[in-house]
Amino acid sequence: MIEALLSGGGAFLLALALGRPTVSWLRTKKLGKAISEDQPSSHMIKAGTPTMGGAFIWATVAIVTVLTNLFEWRNGELVFERRSILLPTMVVVSMTLVGFWDDLGSLVGGPYRGLSWRVKFVLIALLSAVVAGSMYWGLDAQSINIPWAGQFELGYVYIAIAFMVVFAGTTAVAVTDGLDGLLGGLAAFAFGAYGVIAFGQGQDFLAVFCFTVVGALLGFLWFNAHPASVFMGDTGALPLGAALATVGLMTGHWLLLPVIGAVFVAEATSDILQVAYFKVTGGRRLFRKAPLHHHLELIGWSEPQVVMRLYLVGIAAAMVGVALALSV
């Protein structure tokens, strides 16, 4: 656990060091985000804020992972030992590229077009299939851990479940990105919880990865705190969801993802319900705006209040999730 915590602390410092020049470069290149008309009018003041800040989150994770979590000293030699950590690393790289592509289409006055939801869903589905296959055939994973009941083998059914876990997790986390500091903090709590779970299982390398992400997110939040000087964009949000789902699968406690990520579930569910209700009722809305964080703003909560109160829910959910994992 010492290695994991030190890696997290180092990632925090590195993200702080990378953050300021990255934000300055994004501002110089005028890579500012355009604000959608679907968002509350109070957000229009944020137009032009640099986006793609997720780049320095994942640059930090990549550097720290190479330095601390891919090799081990054995008999005086540096040995490439932690091969399974390549899976979440591959997930991060793949989704970062997809997110970057999509972010190009969200720039103020940008000449590029972002990805349509249909294309984005296809790419997420492809990644989900690769992760599901890698878990089953590469890491020999096919089980479910149920609190107070134990571990059970699922056989080939596991592949379909793993696919849905990654697909749903990626999209739910991405939907949550919308307020200054919201997703970064909630994701840090979730990765921290899975870091503790991984350490309890003896998966030290996975714990190091989780706390490396936590440290990088804390460094990002230094610049993303309200009023944000940079947004993570899909460059940060899509890899966060995919990596969290992958970590959940690697611990065998993917069943706890809806618990640890309770706010992510609420945000995604509010979006789905809003669309379904709108179609069924011929144009009526269930929420003032979806996802949930915008509805909370429009009923009178300030942006910092929404973020802090959802933080509290996220922390409590993470604690409950760790407790349930320890009961297996």
Domain ranges of the chain: 2-326
Q: Give me 232's structure tokens.
A: 């993570």
- Specify the pLDDT at position 286: 84
Burial of 319 (0-12, 13-18, 19+ CB in 10 A): middle
The separation between CA 20 and the C-alpha centre of its own chain, rounded to angstroms, equals: 22
- Specify the pLDDT at position 76: 60
For residue 159, give the amino acid letter.
I
For residue 120, give the amino acid letter.
K
Per residue of the chain (328 residues), what is the pLDDT tens digit?
888 899 899 999 999 999 899 988 888 877 767 666 666 656 667 677 888 888 999 999 999 988 887 766 666 665 556 677 889 999 999 999 999 888 887 776 555 566 778 888 999 999 999 999 999 998 888 888 888 888 888 889 999 999 999 999 999 999 998 888 999 999 999 999 999 999 998 888 999 999 999 999 999 999 999 888 888 888 999 999 999 999 999 999 999 999 999 999 999 999 899 888 888 887 788 888 878 888 888 888 998 999 999 999 999 999 999 999 988 6
DSSP-derived secondary structure letter, 53: T
- Specify the pLDDT at position 117: 81
User: Hey, how many other C-beta atoms are within 10 angstroms of the C-beta on 148?
Assistant: 7
d(CA 182, CA 224): 9
Which residues are CB-neighbours of 70 under 8 A, at least 6 positions away? 80, 82, 85
CA distances from 206 to 100, 146, 235 (A): 26, 20, 22
CA distances from 196 to 58, 97, 319 (A): 21, 29, 10
Instruction: Pick the closest to residue 54 from 96, 20, 13 (CA basis).
Output: 96
- Specify the pLDDT at position 275: 86
- Specify the pLDDT at position 317: 97
CB 292 within 8 Å of CB 264: no
- Specify the pLDDT at position 79: 59
d(CA 104, CA 68): 32
Backbone angles phi, psi at 48, to 5 degrees: 95, -5
Q: Beta strand pairing status for 71-74 and 143-146?
A: unpaired
- Specify the pLDDT at position 73: 62
Q: In which region does residue 233 sit, left (phi positive, over 0), alpha (psi from -120 to 50) or beta (all else)?
A: left
